[in-house]
Amino acid sequence: MTNKSNKLLILTMLCQPILVAAQNTESDSLLLQQAMKEEKPVNLPLFQTKFTADPSPLVVGDTLFLFTSHDASPEDIPDENERSSAGFFMYDWLLWSTTDMVNWTEHGAVASLKDFTWRSRENGAWAIQTVEHNGKYYLYAPLHGHGIGVLVSDSPYGPYRDPLGKPLVWQREHWEDIDPTVFTDEDGRTYMYWGNPHTYWAELNDDMISLKSGVTTLPHIQNYQEGPWLYKHNSHYYLAFASTCCPEGLGYAMSDSPTGPWTSMGYIMSPTHRDRGNHPGICNFKGKTYVFGQNYDLMHIQSFVHHERRSVSAAEMKYNPDGTIVEVPYWLDVPPLEQLHWLNPYCRVEAETMAWGYGLKTAKMGIENTGVVADMPLSTGRCNMYVYDINEGEYIRLRGVDFGSGAKRFQLAASAQGKCLVTLRLDRADGPVIATLTLKETGSLEQYKTFTTKVHNANGVHDLYLCFSGITAPARLDWWQFNK
Ligand code: FUB
């Protein structure tokens, strides 16, 4: 080959990722716009009121709890000069729950850096895992640059308290102590794995807050970068992880023992330039297996300029007969999740329960924090929440609402400083109207009132849309319910 064609080849190779990224940007942008206009059913991120990352599922009874980390929205970043920075701004950890896999209830921040008095930085609330052990809930949290701490509670909702007052592990010579995953085997022994780019493990004592063993550094597992997720399925042990950066896919390794040796088995989700970072969380729920991970798809609805404003998505995952995992296509390329049971509209539904609520925000009642550590109370436990920042044309979508033989009335608990028209529609944001209701001044935004209206033609199972228009002043939504 001549020097000239050599140069051309090198240039083509160097440009390849840029070209691929540009193509991905164009096709994902189109797909996301189609999804927003409801022209196509797309497997979109689970949550829209906040940017979320690092999903950690925990099944308790008939409920799937999903703990996530939280990428601050620009307006919640305390230093105004940092608001357009691309880096991580992470102060607290969030909780979400579902019983049907498609309608999720937000529970807000359940813990924050503030719950660790020994923290040295006000940023760095990275990937957690919460596990249940003997009726208590243990939340293992990396404080980036300061080791891994643990919080304990009697309930998944908190309040969580720090029983140690110091890190559970902290190898001071580096910043690799991130992304803890904790697994208790059938023989009662509990293991914690963590680390980037090395994989570390240690055994925990039965108290779950102290180490029984020293820290072992594993030989490099092919493709391993960070975000380990340790679990067992049938007789096999699995270590899922974020694969070598960047872009990160979801890799996994298998073993016959919880401590290895581990054999890298390839990918649960192949790396793609559509997603720079990923992070697995896996669980069985109501007879199916789900893999959760993260992407930038929510941010991509508006912008492809890189910021750490991530969003959690989920897909169903299946095993081959030999225990290996069937590769899952990219989040946007799998069908939307199947709803596991219909939603009952005849009991109180929190306004912050939604399948989709793009543009809306939520907060805990009586707690006026912005999301930043300085404004935050210590872990509060379960709190009522409200939906706010409601703008013209926005809506809350609930999937699969079972009206049975017919709804007669609708009630909505809300507060308002002016007017806001709520139109209830079926199946689409511009679908048939079953009721309208005008929220009027309630005295103050802290003063909630129940507004009611008649309902027509709401029978059987439909998606329900609460559509907002004619807004003259801020309003907040607490809960709603239909009556027969
Ligand atoms: O969310 C902060 C860090 O990014 C996590 O700890 C890593 O796993 C990556 O998702």
As a whole number, mean pLDDT of residues 375-390 equals 91
Nearest CA to ligand 1 atom 2: 126
Amino acid at 346: Y
Each residue's pLDDT tens digit, 7-35: 655 655 656 666 777 788 889 999 999 99
CB neighbour burial string for 157-170, b if at least 16 within 10 angstroms, e if fewer: bbbbebbeeebbbb
Cα–Cα nearest to 125, from 88, 171, 153: 88
As a whole number, mean pLDDT of residues 282-308 equals 96
Q: Which of 93, 179, 193 to mutate to test the pocket of ligand 1 (most atoms within 8 A of CB)?
A: 179
Each residue's pLDDT tens digit, 338-371: 999 999 999 999 999 999 999 999 999 988 776 6
The torsion angles phi and psi of 140, rounded to 5 degrees, stand at -95, 125
- Tell me the C-alpha distance between 423 and 435, whole Å: 6
Q: Is the dihedral of CA 276, 281, 285, 289 positive or negative?
A: positive
CA 133 – ligand 1 centroid, Å: 25
Each residue's pLDDT tens digit, 409-446: 999 999 999 999 999 999 999 999 999 999 999 999 99
Each residue's pLDDT tens digit, 89-124: 999 999 999 999 999 999 999 999 999 999 999 999
DSSP calls for 418-430: S-EEEEEEESSTT
CA distances, 335 to each of 40, 44, 271 (Å): 10, 9, 19
Q: Are 105 and 97 in contact (CB under 8 A)?
A: yes
As a whole number, mean pLDDT of residues 56-77 equals 95
* Burial class of 49 by CB neighbour count within 10 A (0 to 12, 13 to 18, 19+): buried
Query: Is the distance from the beta carbon of residue 88 to the nearest atom of ligand 1 less than 6 Å?
Result: yes
Counting residues of the chain whose pLDDT is more than 70, the rounded percentage is 96
Task: Reduce the DSSP state of residue 333 to 3 states and report it.
Answer: helix
CB atoms within 10 A of CB 114: 21
Q: Which of 226, 229, 248 to mutate to test the pocket of ligand 1 (most atoms within 8 A of CB)?
A: 226
Nearest CA to ligand 1 atom 3: 126
Each residue's pLDDT tens digit, 167-202: 999 999 899 999 999 999 999 999 999 999 999 999
Confidence at residue 23, expressed as pLDDT on a 0 to 100 scale: 80
The torsion angles phi and psi of 63, rounded to 5 degrees, stand at -120, 135
Confidence at residue 1, expressed as pLDDT on a 0 to 100 scale: 45
Half-sphere exposure of 469 (CA within 13 A, CB side): 9
Task: Reduce the DSSP state of residue 161 to 3 states and report it.
Answer: strand
CA 125 – ligand 1 centroid, Å: 9
Task: Reduce the DSSP state of residue 25 to 3 states and report it.
Answer: helix
Q: How far is CA 57 from the centre of its chain?
A: 9
Confidence at residue 377, expressed as pLDDT on a 0 to 100 scale: 84
CB atoms within 10 A of CB 299: 19
Task: Identify the H or E element spanning 3.
Answer: helix 3-36
CA 308 – ligand 1 centroid, Å: 10
| Closest atom of ligand 1 relative to the 69 alpha carbon | 1
Cα–Cα nearest to 179, from 204, 197, 152, 159: 197
CA 378 – ligand 1 centroid, Å: 23
Confidence at residue 86, expressed as pLDDT on a 0 to 100 scale: 84
Q: Are 151 and 115 in contact (CB under 8 A)?
A: yes
pLDDT value at 61 more than 60: yes
CA 96 – ligand 1 centroid, Å: 18
Confidence at residue 439, expressed as pLDDT on a 0 to 100 scale: 98
Q: Maximum Cα–Cα distance for the chain, whole Å? A: 81
Confidence at residue 403, expressed as pLDDT on a 0 to 100 scale: 98
Residues whose CB is less than 8 angstroms from the CB of residue 186 and which lie 6 or more positions away in sequence, other chains included: 232
- Tell me the C-alpha distance between 159 and 436, whole Å: 39
Query: Is the distance from the beta carbon of residue 53 to the nearest atom of ligand 1 less than 6 Å?
Result: yes
Q: Which residue has the higher pLDDT, 80 or 324?
A: 324
Confidence grade of residue 5 (pLDDT, cut at 50, 70, 90): low
Query: Is the distance from the beta carbon of residue 226 to the nearest atom of ligand 1 less than 6 Å?
Result: yes
284 Rama sector, left if φ>0, alpha if ψ -120 to 50, beta otherwise: beta
Query: Is the distance from the beta carbon of residue 475 to the nearest atom of ligand 1 less than 6 Å?
Result: no
Task: Reduce the DSSP state of residue 483 to 3 states and report it.
Answer: strand
CB atoms within 10 A of CB 16: 11
Amino acid at 255: S
- Tell me the C-alpha distance between 31 and 40, whole Å: 8
The average confidence (pLDDT) of the chain is 94
CA 335 – ligand 1 centroid, Å: 26
| Strand partners for 139 | 130, 151
CA 123 – ligand 1 centroid, Å: 13
Each residue's pLDDT tens digit, 208-222: 999 999 999 999 999
Q: Are 349 and 481 in contact (CB under 8 A)?
A: yes
Amino acid at 81: N
Task: Identify the H or E element spanning 4.
Answer: helix 3-36
| Closest atom of ligand 1 relative to the 142 alpha carbon | 6
- Tell me the C-alpha distance between 221 and 159, whole Å: 37
pLDDT value at 4 more than 70: no
